[in-house]
A and B are shown apart, each in its own frame.
Chain A
Amino acid sequence: MYETLITTGAAPSLKTLAEQFSITPTQARRALQRLHKAHALVLKTGGDEILMAHPLSAKPTDYRVTIDDVTLYANCAWDSLGIPAMLNCDARIEARHPLGGDAMRYRIADGELENDGRYFVHFAHPFRQWYDDIVDT
Protein backbone atom coordinates (compact mmCIF):
# COMPACT_ATOMS: atom_id res chain seq x y z
CA MET A 1 0.00 0.00 0.00
CA TYR A 2 2.78 2.43 0.94
CA GLU A 3 4.68 1.56 -2.22
CA THR A 4 1.67 2.49 -4.36
CA LEU A 5 0.99 5.67 -2.40
CA ILE A 6 4.62 6.77 -2.56
CA THR A 7 5.07 6.12 -6.26
CA THR A 8 1.69 7.29 -7.53
CA GLY A 9 0.23 9.49 -4.78
CA ALA A 10 -2.94 7.41 -4.85
CA ALA A 11 -4.04 4.58 -2.58
CA PRO A 12 -4.53 1.13 -4.09
CA SER A 13 -8.09 -0.05 -4.52
CA LEU A 14 -9.51 -3.03 -2.67
CA LYS A 15 -9.44 -4.98 -5.94
CA THR A 16 -5.77 -4.15 -6.53
CA LEU A 17 -4.81 -5.15 -2.98
CA ALA A 18 -6.72 -8.41 -3.29
CA GLU A 19 -4.96 -9.26 -6.54
CA GLN A 20 -1.55 -8.23 -5.21
CA PHE A 21 -1.81 -10.49 -2.17
CA SER A 22 -3.80 -13.26 -3.91
CA ILE A 23 -6.70 -12.93 -1.51
CA THR A 24 -10.39 -12.21 -1.95
CA PRO A 25 -11.76 -8.66 -1.79
CA THR A 26 -13.55 -9.64 1.42
CA GLN A 27 -10.27 -10.74 2.99
CA ALA A 28 -8.62 -7.52 1.79
CA ARG A 29 -11.45 -5.48 3.32
CA ARG A 30 -11.06 -7.26 6.66
CA ALA A 31 -7.30 -6.71 6.59
CA LEU A 32 -7.80 -3.00 5.96
CA GLN A 33 -10.33 -2.80 8.79
CA ARG A 34 -7.85 -4.48 11.16
CA LEU A 35 -5.16 -1.97 10.14
CA HIS A 36 -7.66 0.86 10.64
CA LYS A 37 -8.44 -0.37 14.16
CA ALA A 38 -4.72 -0.56 14.90
CA HIS A 39 -4.30 3.08 13.68
CA ALA A 40 -1.97 1.89 10.91
CA LEU A 41 -4.17 3.60 8.32
CA VAL A 42 -7.43 5.52 8.16
CA LEU A 43 -10.41 4.35 6.12
CA LYS A 44 -13.29 6.49 4.97
CA THR A 45 -16.07 6.28 7.55
CA GLY A 46 -18.27 3.29 6.84
CA GLY A 47 -16.25 2.28 3.79
CA ASP A 48 -13.11 0.58 2.62
CA GLU A 49 -11.49 3.49 0.80
CA ILE A 50 -8.08 4.41 2.21
CA LEU A 51 -7.94 8.07 3.24
CA MET A 52 -4.63 8.19 5.08
CA ALA A 53 -1.57 6.07 5.67
CA HIS A 54 0.43 8.38 7.86
CA PRO A 55 2.18 10.56 6.97
CA LEU A 56 0.59 10.29 3.52
CA SER A 57 -2.85 11.40 2.47
CA ALA A 58 -4.55 9.58 -0.38
CA LYS A 59 -6.45 12.79 -1.18
CA PRO A 60 -5.14 16.26 -2.07
CA THR A 61 -4.63 18.44 1.01
CA ASP A 62 -3.18 21.85 1.86
CA TYR A 63 0.25 20.21 2.31
CA ARG A 64 1.90 19.32 -0.98
CA VAL A 65 5.23 17.51 -0.86
CA THR A 66 7.33 17.23 -4.00
CA ILE A 67 10.06 14.62 -4.20
CA ASP A 68 11.92 14.67 -7.51
CA ASP A 69 9.00 14.89 -9.93
CA VAL A 70 6.42 13.11 -7.78
CA THR A 71 3.80 15.10 -5.86
CA LEU A 72 2.49 13.61 -2.63
CA TYR A 73 0.06 15.00 -0.08
CA ALA A 74 0.49 15.07 3.69
CA ASN A 75 -2.26 15.13 6.30
CA CYS A 76 -0.88 18.08 8.24
CA ALA A 77 2.22 20.22 8.75
CA TRP A 78 3.88 17.54 10.88
CA ASP A 79 3.20 14.89 8.26
CA SER A 80 4.58 17.15 5.51
CA LEU A 81 7.94 16.72 7.24
CA GLY A 82 7.15 13.11 8.07
CA ILE A 83 7.24 12.16 4.39
CA PRO A 84 10.92 13.10 3.81
CA ALA A 85 11.72 11.70 7.27
CA MET A 86 10.12 8.38 6.33
CA LEU A 87 11.76 8.24 2.90
CA ASN A 88 15.08 9.74 4.03
CA CYS A 89 15.14 12.07 1.05
CA ASP A 90 15.07 15.70 0.03
CA ALA A 91 11.67 17.32 -0.44
CA ARG A 92 10.08 20.62 -1.38
CA ILE A 93 6.95 21.43 0.56
CA GLU A 94 4.25 23.94 -0.16
CA ALA A 95 1.51 24.52 2.40
CA ARG A 96 -1.57 26.69 2.06
CA HIS A 97 -1.96 29.31 4.76
CA PRO A 98 -5.05 28.60 6.91
CA LEU A 99 -6.11 32.26 6.95
CA GLY A 100 -5.03 33.81 3.68
CA GLY A 101 -4.65 30.76 1.48
CA ASP A 102 -1.26 31.92 0.23
CA ALA A 103 1.64 29.50 -0.20
CA MET A 104 4.20 28.84 2.52
CA ARG A 105 7.30 27.02 1.32
CA TYR A 106 10.04 25.08 3.06
CA ARG A 107 12.29 22.22 2.15
CA ILE A 108 14.39 19.37 3.44
CA ALA A 109 17.85 19.10 1.92
CA ASP A 110 20.51 16.67 3.11
CA GLY A 111 18.54 16.01 6.26
CA GLU A 112 18.26 19.68 7.19
CA LEU A 113 15.21 21.92 7.30
CA GLU A 114 15.57 25.06 5.21
CA ASN A 115 13.48 28.23 5.40
CA ASP A 116 13.07 27.70 9.12
CA GLY A 117 12.43 30.38 11.70
CA ARG A 118 9.37 31.86 10.11
CA TYR A 119 6.81 29.15 10.69
CA PHE A 120 4.97 27.73 13.67
CA VAL A 121 2.81 24.64 13.97
CA HIS A 122 -0.32 24.54 16.11
CA PHE A 123 -1.30 21.15 17.52
CA ALA A 124 -4.99 21.41 18.32
CA HIS A 125 -5.51 18.32 20.44
CA PRO A 126 -3.49 16.84 23.30
CA PHE A 127 -1.85 13.47 22.65
CA ARG A 128 -4.43 11.55 24.68
CA GLN A 129 -7.14 12.68 22.20
CA TRP A 130 -5.30 12.16 18.92
CA TYR A 131 -7.06 8.94 18.00
CA ASP A 132 -10.52 10.07 19.08
CA ASP A 133 -10.87 11.76 15.70
CA ILE A 134 -7.68 11.27 13.73
CA VAL A 135 -8.93 13.18 10.69
CA ASP A 136 -9.56 16.31 12.80
CA THR A 137 -6.27 15.80 14.64
Chain B
Amino acid sequence: MLFRSESEIDKWRRRVGRNRGAVLSLSQVWALAERWYHDRISPDYRGKSAAEAQSTFRALGLTGEFWLAPPA
Protein backbone atom coordinates (compact mmCIF):
# COMPACT_ATOMS: atom_id res chain seq x y z
CA MET B 1 0.00 0.00 0.00
CA LEU B 2 1.07 3.53 -0.76
CA PHE B 3 1.55 6.27 1.83
CA ARG B 4 3.05 9.74 2.10
CA SER B 5 5.09 9.08 5.23
CA GLU B 6 6.15 6.37 7.66
CA SER B 7 3.93 7.94 10.33
CA GLU B 8 0.95 7.41 8.04
CA ILE B 9 1.93 3.76 7.73
CA ASP B 10 1.93 3.42 11.53
CA LYS B 11 -1.46 5.13 11.73
CA TRP B 12 -2.89 2.77 9.12
CA ARG B 13 -1.38 -0.27 10.86
CA ARG B 14 -3.00 0.70 14.16
CA ARG B 15 -6.32 1.20 12.41
CA VAL B 16 -6.37 -2.17 10.64
CA GLY B 17 -4.34 -4.17 13.18
CA ARG B 18 -1.40 -5.03 10.95
CA ASN B 19 2.18 -5.73 11.93
CA ARG B 20 4.89 -3.64 10.36
CA GLY B 21 6.26 -5.27 7.23
CA ALA B 22 8.87 -3.69 4.99
CA VAL B 23 8.83 -0.06 3.85
CA LEU B 24 10.41 0.97 0.55
CA SER B 25 10.53 4.32 -1.19
CA LEU B 26 8.61 4.52 -4.45
CA SER B 27 11.88 4.77 -6.35
CA GLN B 28 13.06 1.50 -4.79
CA VAL B 29 9.77 -0.08 -5.84
CA TRP B 30 10.22 1.20 -9.40
CA ALA B 31 13.65 -0.45 -9.51
CA LEU B 32 12.10 -3.66 -8.20
CA ALA B 33 9.24 -3.47 -10.72
CA GLU B 34 11.67 -3.05 -13.61
CA ARG B 35 13.63 -6.12 -12.63
CA TRP B 36 10.59 -8.18 -11.69
CA TYR B 37 8.26 -7.46 -14.59
CA HIS B 38 10.43 -6.47 -17.57
CA ASP B 39 10.12 -9.94 -19.17
CA ARG B 40 6.64 -10.85 -17.97
CA ILE B 41 4.99 -10.96 -21.39
CA SER B 42 7.99 -12.37 -23.21
CA PRO B 43 7.14 -15.68 -24.91
CA ASP B 44 10.18 -17.10 -23.13
CA TYR B 45 8.95 -16.14 -19.65
CA ARG B 46 8.66 -19.20 -17.44
CA GLY B 47 8.13 -17.63 -14.03
CA LYS B 48 10.64 -16.90 -11.32
CA SER B 49 12.03 -19.45 -8.97
CA ALA B 50 12.33 -18.52 -5.31
CA ALA B 51 16.09 -18.37 -5.74
CA GLU B 52 15.78 -16.02 -8.73
CA ALA B 53 13.41 -13.82 -6.77
CA GLN B 54 15.77 -13.65 -3.84
CA SER B 55 18.64 -12.83 -6.16
CA THR B 56 16.59 -9.92 -7.52
CA PHE B 57 15.94 -8.66 -4.01
CA ARG B 58 19.61 -8.96 -3.07
CA ALA B 59 20.70 -7.00 -6.16
CA LEU B 60 18.55 -4.13 -4.92
CA GLY B 61 19.91 -4.32 -1.39
CA LEU B 62 16.78 -5.99 -0.06
CA THR B 63 18.20 -8.44 2.42
CA GLY B 64 17.18 -9.72 5.81
CA GLU B 65 14.58 -12.18 6.95
CA PHE B 66 11.66 -10.36 5.29
CA TRP B 67 13.10 -11.01 1.82
CA LEU B 68 14.20 -14.61 2.39
CA ALA B 69 12.79 -17.31 0.12
CA PRO B 70 10.48 -19.92 1.66
CA PRO B 71 12.16 -23.17 2.66
CA ALA B 72 12.53 -25.54 -0.31
| Interface size in chain B (residues, C-beta < 8 A) | 44
Chain A neighbourhood of B54, CB < 8 A? 127
- Assuming A86-B38, A98-B12, is B66 touching A120 (CB within 8 A)? no
| Interface size in chain A (residues, C-beta < 8 A) | 42
Determine chain A's interface SS by DSSP, over half rule: mixed
Chain B neighbourhood of A55, CB < 8 A? 33, 37, 40
Segment with Cβ contacts to B, from A7-15, A19-27, A75-83? A75-83
**Are A122 and B1 in contact, with the CB atoms below 8 A?**
yes
- Assuming A98-B2, A124-B21, is B68 touching A116 (CB within 8 A)? no
Chain B residue at smallest Cβ distance from A6: B41
**Are B1 and A85 in contact, with the CB atoms below 8 A?**
no
Contact of A78 among B27, B29, B68 (CB under 8 A): B29
**Are B26 and A116 in contact, with the CB atoms below 8 A?**
yes
**Are A116 and B2 in contact, with the CB atoms below 8 A?**
no
Interface residues of B (CB under 8 A from A): 1-6, 8-9, 11-13, 15, 18-30, 32-34, 36-38, 40-41, 47, 53-54, 57, 65-71
Cβ-closest 6 pairs across A and B: A81-B33, A128-B70, A82-B37, A77-B2, A119-B26, A86-B37
